[in-house]
Each structure stands twice: as C-alpha cells, then as structure tokens.
C-alpha cells in the first residue's frame, strides 16, 4: 500500500480497489460500485431516508431525460450546467426533434410538473425527494469523489412563502450535518456559500464542509433556497387564501456518493479502510486462530457468538477459510471491518477471546461470557471515537491566524517544505468577487463556506485588507 501522506491520490485509488469497493469501466468517468461499495451507500441512504420521512418528505421518481427547452427557461441554471451536459440526439435510428439531456439535477423537470400539481395553498407544502443517478461530464474524475455519473438524492420542495422555504432549507442542512457527523463520523462546518460558489439558479446555497486527511475540503452536502426563480421560470403558482395567484418558493438539497469517498479519505489509514460501525458492510469478523481445525470446540464457540450477534442485528462474518490468520487479519483490516474477534485453543482454555478494534493498536482480552456485550460496546465507542479523532485532526489542521495573502502563500510554502498539510484557513473577506478570484489564482484556495459558528471572527479581508464583511473558510477543495 502506498504511503498515505506521500501520495494521497495513489493511496486512495489503491485502497478502494484492494478493498473491492469499485471498478473502472470502459466509459470514462463512470465507475461500477461493487457490493461492498454499494452497501456503504445503502447504509448512508437508510440513515438519510429515515430522517427525510420523519420530517414529512416522501420519495418519488422523475425521468432521467430532460428536454433542452426546459434548461433554457432558467438563465443561471443553463449557464451553470450546460458545459457538463451529455445529450441524447438520436433514438431508434432517427434524429430527435429536440435533444434530451441526461439530467445533471432535476429542478427543471420537477418545476414543469409542479406547475401542474400545485393549484392552491391547500396543496402546499410539497415535500418530495428522489433517489437517482445524475450526470455531469467532468474533465477530471476521481472515483466516488467526482465521476461523470453518480448516485445521489435530490429533495425538491415548494412552499407558500419565503419563511417556510428558508426553514426547510435549514432543516435539511441540519439533517445532513447530523447524518454526516453521527453516522459517517465526519465533523463538518455548516455555513453559507459565497455567491460565486452558489448552485446555478439558487438565491442562497448552504453547505457542510469536511476535511480529508490530506487537508483538502469536500463539500459533503448542499441545501438551496431557490426563491421564486424556478417558480417564475416554470409558472408554479397557487391560489392563496385571499384567492390571489402567488408564486411558490422552492428549495432543493442534495447529497451524493461522494460521501463514500469522504469516509475513506477521512478515516482510512496505511492499512486500508477504517469504516465507522454504522455504515460498515461487515461490522464484526470472527477468526479462528492456532490449530483450530483440531479443536472442534473453537468453531462451536464461534458459531455461538455468530448466532448471538446475528440475532442482535449486527452484521457479522465468520472467516473459516484455509488462509493463514495473518492473511485474514490483513484482508479484513484492508476492508475496514470495525471489530475483529480472535479465538484459539489457548484462549478457549482461559475462557477468553481477543478483540481488536480497527482503529486501535492494542488487542483487548474479553471474557467469553461477555463477548457479545463487549462487541456491542466497542461498536458504539468506536463510532464516537472516530468522530473525535477526525475532529482532533481537523482542528489541528485549521489555521485562524493567517490574515494576508503573502502570509497564506508563505504558509503553503512552509507546509510543502516540511511535508505537512497546509489545511484550512479561516480568514476575513470583503465580499468582492475579485478578491476571492485572486486568492484562488495565487494559492488554489477557494472559499468553502461562511461558517455559522466560526472559531473566531475576522475583521480584515485576506486579499485587499479592507474591512471584512464575512469570516470565511478557505481551502483547496475536491
Ligand atoms: Zn477584499
């Protein structure tokens, strides 16, 4: 396995391939999700979907092909997405009258339909989510993090007024933050995007931002208040209580399979994946060690533990293949299985088993009578521990005392010379696009978001030195 810090990308690609999460296909930028990769997504989906439904949303499905004329209706939207749209121009041997885009997102199709579905204030709010694939023909791709086709969920809601729509926008951002922190064990900063980083067609975009182990940022989820822009473009009006026509206010919000990539880049180590228990396809692996084939009692005992864990709904595997224990340890470590239980003749004699947590260095000795409880406890504490470790790493790599562009350049240079991570920088910004652009050009650092709860507040712009309107996270981003 490649050294993680020396060549992070190489480490990442090797890790996801060896852990059997994905494979490349002949279509550039389009990957296959293998079962272990897909199951991580399924557990993320379960966590999200449950919360969507608890807050009144329902799932629906919309077509993948979108007529070109739909995109022309919202000017910012087409400008933002047209460079990366793949088109269907021919079907059944004939040229289509109007070419159809493979959806990059579904605001336009859904806007068209909502204009028919929504007639009166009684129809509102409309709270719909879609689990689907989308296409954005990217020049530079990286499995899970940025691919030409990816899986995601997109919520699309319509409301009577701005207040209700903004409440929804924030509610969904909070749900994203909760899932990413509590289920994926990734700490995030929630905040507002600057205008240049806004979703094409949004009034306001909010995001959660996560730090990877190489210090780069990943936008882990976004929630948009769309105002009446799509309502006006698609004529989505309702009759209010005073019997007058009004435009609805809409929102959209999304998270995607890049969360899989984020989990790997946040928790993984030199031995491979480290998966938070809540999303691990296999949470516990049982491995017989020593001359176990001559001791039928070992397998009997392991079968018993296996059945007890299974009965509790824990995802457990028993590895009784004829590979050596050392080989098996490496394999399951590579796959990031949270807890490993070893049982050999001597352990059995002492009425104990060994428990190894994927993210720790020391094995624990567990009394056989408590083994199931001990595993349950370890899965719970590991989940919290991973979040805490990631938080410590992030906090150690965020910098809040860099206040000028030369200081930032110096900081990046020093990190390069020392082989350390430059990480994120919290700095002031005057609100001018030109300053944002200049920082990007000179350092590749872009604005990530204007955090709701910054560690400190900045008073001068990092670029021009004028009064800062906002305190912003700057980072290199995927
Ligand atoms: Zn400035």
Mean pLDDT over the full length of the chain: 96
Q: How far is the CA of 278 from the centre of ligand 1 (A)?
A: 43
**Confidence grade of residue 82 (pLDDT, cut at 50, 70, 90):** confident
Q: How far is the CA of 205 from the centre of ligand 1 (A)?
A: 21
**Span 328-357, mean pLDDT?**
97
**Confidence grade of residue 477 (pLDDT, cut at 50, 70, 90):** very high
List all residues 6 or more positions away from 167 whose beta carbon is below 8 Å from its beta carbon: none
pLDDT of the residue at 127: 98
Q: How far is the CA of 436 from the centre of ligand 1 (A)?
A: 7
DSSP at 195: G
pLDDT of the residue at 192: 98
Question: Would you say residue 355 has pLDDT above 70?
Answer: yes
Question: Would you say residue 90 has pLDDT above 80?
Answer: yes
The distance between the two most distant Cα atoms of the chain, rounded to a whole number of Å, is 84
Q: How far is the CA of 197 from the centre of ligand 1 (A)?
A: 16
* Among 68, 65, 71, CA closest to 233: 71
Q: Convert the pLDDT of each residue in 116-151 to its tens digit.
A: 999 999 999 999 999 999 999 988 999 999 999 999
pLDDT of the residue at 138: 86
pLDDT of the residue at 83: 85
List all residues 6 or more positions away from 191 whose beta carbon is below 8 Å from its beta carbon: 206, 207, 209, 448, 449, 450, 451, 452, 473
Q: How far is the CA of 426 from the centre of ligand 1 (A)?
A: 14
pLDDT of the residue at 222: 98
Question: Would you say residue 77 has pLDDT above 90?
Answer: no
Q: How far is the CA of 402 from the centre of ligand 1 (A)?
A: 14
Specify the CATH superfamily of domain 277-385: Anticodon-binding domain (3.40.50.800)
pTM: 0.96
Query: What top-level class would CATH report for the domain 398-475?
Result: alpha beta
Question: Would you say residue 43 has pLDDT above 90?
Answer: yes
**Confidence grade of residue 74 (pLDDT, cut at 50, 70, 90):** confident
CATH fit for domain 8-267, picks 3.30.390.50, 3.40.50.2300, 3.30.930.10, 3.40.50.1000: 3.30.930.10
Q: How far is the CA of 458 from the centre of ligand 1 (A)?
A: 12
Q: How far is the CA of 453 from the centre of ligand 1 (A)?
A: 21
Q: Convert the pLDDT of each residue in 412-465 to its tens digit.
A: 999 999 999 999 999 999 999 999 999 999 999 999 999 999 999 999 999 999
pLDDT of the residue at 1: 62
* Domain spans in the chain, listed from the N-terminal domain onward: 8-267, 277-385, 398-475
pLDDT of the residue at 91: 94
List all residues 6 or more positions away from 226 whose beta carbon is below 8 Å from its beta carbon: 107, 165, 201, 202, 203, 249, 250, 251, 252
Q: How far is the CA of 399 from the centre of ligand 1 (A)?
A: 19
Q: How far is the CA of 295 from the centre of ligand 1 (A)?
A: 73
């Amino acid at each position: 396995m490649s050294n993680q810090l020396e060549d992070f990308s190489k480490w990442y690609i090797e890790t996801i391939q060896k852990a059997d999460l994905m494979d490349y296909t002949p279509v550039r930028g389009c990957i296959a999700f293998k079962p272990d990769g897909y199951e991580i997504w399924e557990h993320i989906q379960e966590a999200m979907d449950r919360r969507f439904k608890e807050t009144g949303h329902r799932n629906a499905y919309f077509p993948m092909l979108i007529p070109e004329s739909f995109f022309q209706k919202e000017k910012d939207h087409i400008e933002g997405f047209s460079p990366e749209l793949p088109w269907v121009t021919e079907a059944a041997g004939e040229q289509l009258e109007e070419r159809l885009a493979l959806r990059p997102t579904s605001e336009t199709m859904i806007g068209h339909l909502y204009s028919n579905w929504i007639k009166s204030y009684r129809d509102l709010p409309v709270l719909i989510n879609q689990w689907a694939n989308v296409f954005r023909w990217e020049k530079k791709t990286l499995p899970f993090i940025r691919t030409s086709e990816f899986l995601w969920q997109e919520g699309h809601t319509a409301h009577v007024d701005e207040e209700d729509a903004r409440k929804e926008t924030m509610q969904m951002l909070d749900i994203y933050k909760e899932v990413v922190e509590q289920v994926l064990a990734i700490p995030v900063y929630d905040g507002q995007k600057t205008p240049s980083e806004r979703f094409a067609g949004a009034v306001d975009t909010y995001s959660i931002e996560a730090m990877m182990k190489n210090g780069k940022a990943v936008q882990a989820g976004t929630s948009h208040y769309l105002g009446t822009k799509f309502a006006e473009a698609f004529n989505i009006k309702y009759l209010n209580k005073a019997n007058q026509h009004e435009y609805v206010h809409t929102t959209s919000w999304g998270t995607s399979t890049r969360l899989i990539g984020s989990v790997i880049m946040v928790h993984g180590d030199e031995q491979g994946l480290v998966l938070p228990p809540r999303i691990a396809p296999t949470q516990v692996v049982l491995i017989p060690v020593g001359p176990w084939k001559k001791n039928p009692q070992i397998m009997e005992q392991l079968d018993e533990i296996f059945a007890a864990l299974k009965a509790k709904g824990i995802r457990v595997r028993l590895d009784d293949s004829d590979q050596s224990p050392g080989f098996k340890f490496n394999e399951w470590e590579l796959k990031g299985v949270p807890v490993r239980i070893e049982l050999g003749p001597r352990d059995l004699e002492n009425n104990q088993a060994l428990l190894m947590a994927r993210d720790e260095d020391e094995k624990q000795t567990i009394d056989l009578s408590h083994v199931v409880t001990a595993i349950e406890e370890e899965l719970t504490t590991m989940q919290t521990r991973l979040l805490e470790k990631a938080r410590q790493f992030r906090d150690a790599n965020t910098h809040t005392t860099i206040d000028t562009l030369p200081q930032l350049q110096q900081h990046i240079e020093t990190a390069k010379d020392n082989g350390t991570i430059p990480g994120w920088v919290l700095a002031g910004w005057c609100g001018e696009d030109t300053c944002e652009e200049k920082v990007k050009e000179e350092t590749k650092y872009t604005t990530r978001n204007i955090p709701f709860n910054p560690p400190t507040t900045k008073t001068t712009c990092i670029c021009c030195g004028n009064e800062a309107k906002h305190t912003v996270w700057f980072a290199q981003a995927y």
